[in-house]
Amino acid sequence: MRISTFGYSMRQGVKNIGRNKMFSIASIATMAACIFVFGVFFAMVLNVNFMVKKAEEGVAFTVFFKQDTTKATKDEIGTELKQLDGVLSVKYVSPEEALKNFENYFDGDKQLMEGFKDDNPLAYSDNYEVYLKDVSKQAKLVSSAEALNGVREVRHSDVVAKTLTKVNKLLGIASAIVIAILLAVSIFLISNTVTMGINIRREEIAIMKYIGAKDSFVRAPFVLEGVLIGVIGAIIPLAILYVMYNRAIHYVMSKFALLNNIMEFLPVHKVYATLLPLGLILGIGIGFVGSFLTIRKHLRV
């Protein structure tokens, strides 16, 4: 498209918005509301995913050795565990560390622990704690660990792994449903706005077609109108959300102080690194698709 043609199409697109002020404002407002809801939901999903990921990094299974396993074999087991796909880190727990961890069961009673000073009951309980990148792979990794030479037992929790995996799946399904609904509503409203502009200029479009105007020339002002509505409808809620995000987190963390030790939220710049381009693309895309499909129906004269 030439610069002059683009300029004409842009001017006509702006005029169309002015001609249909009420419908244009309604479309922008609805688009803004949809993207606002999308932004809130998206920020929540990002934070929940972040928290789930943090929880996943704390999930581990424990690998115990056979009683006669040599140090060289234990080191070899550790190396092989680190090489397994899906393993985040591997930590060796010595018999002394295992006993120290066991002190919690005695509620800090040092006299009871004195009896184990020279005779460690956990002398053969040294182990590897294997932390995972993705808990959904736990079953496969446990099977691989159990098959290693010198491994006596692998202890793990299926409940935690299954719960976190289900949370991830539910988030994915819920996100897809919400996004699909918002897209459908936004496209429908922009389509109605563009239709009003087409009805007002129906005779003009017919004349342009009769004198040989190309479909792309006739279509461009209406497509740009939809894109402009999409851009404006995206910028407004994204700006509001940017201001609200930090305030909302500060309010929640100050109102519920106990959450400081349990939950950690993503900073606003990390959320907007994804949300800002996604929101703009969503607004432009909805505006383009809604207007393009609408004008396409009215090009046949």
Q: Which residue has the tokens 């004195």?
A: 114
Q: Model confidence at 235, in pLDDT bands (50, 70, 90)? A: very high
Query: Of 224-233, 241-250, 253-262, 270-279, where does mean pLDDT reach its minimum?
Result: 253-262
Q: Report the percentage of the chain scoring pLDDT > 70.
A: 72
Residue 67's nearest CA partner among 129, 121, 128, 126 is 126
Q: Give the number of other CB atoms < 10 A from CB of residue 110.
A: 8
SS (H, E, C) the chain: CCHHHHHHHHHHHHHHHHHCHHHHHHHHHHHHHHHHHHHHHHHHHHHHHHHHHHHHHCCEEEEEECCCCCHHHHHHHHHHHHHCCCEEEEEEECHHHHHHHHHHHHCCCHHHHHCCCCCCCCCCCCEEEEEECCHHHHHHHHHHHHCCCCEEEEECCHHHHHHHHHHHHHHHHHHHHHHHHHHHHHHHHHHHHHHHHHHHCHHHHHHHHHCCCCHHHHHHHHHHHHHHHHHHHHHHHHHHHHHHHHHHHHHHHHHCHHHHHCCCCCCHHHHHHHHHHHHHHHHHHHHHHHHHHHHHHCCCC
Q: pLDDT for 176-187, tens place per residue? A: 787 788 777 767
Which of 31, 32, 19, 30 is CA-nearest to residue 195?
19
Indicate the residue type of 258: L
Q: Residues 182-220: pLDDT tens digits?
A: 777 767 766 676 666 666 666 666 776 677 767 677 777
User: Distance between CA 36 and CA 32 in Å, rounded?
Assistant: 6
The reply to whether CATH 3.20.20.210 applies to domain 60-156 is no
Residue spans per domain, the chain: 3-55+162-297, 60-156
Nearest to 272 by CA among 244, 233, 232, 231: 244
Q: With a cut of 80, say whether residue 151 has pLDDT above it.
A: yes
Structure confidence by residue, pLDDT tens digits, 13-54: 677 666 667 777 877 887 888 888 888 888 888 887 787 777
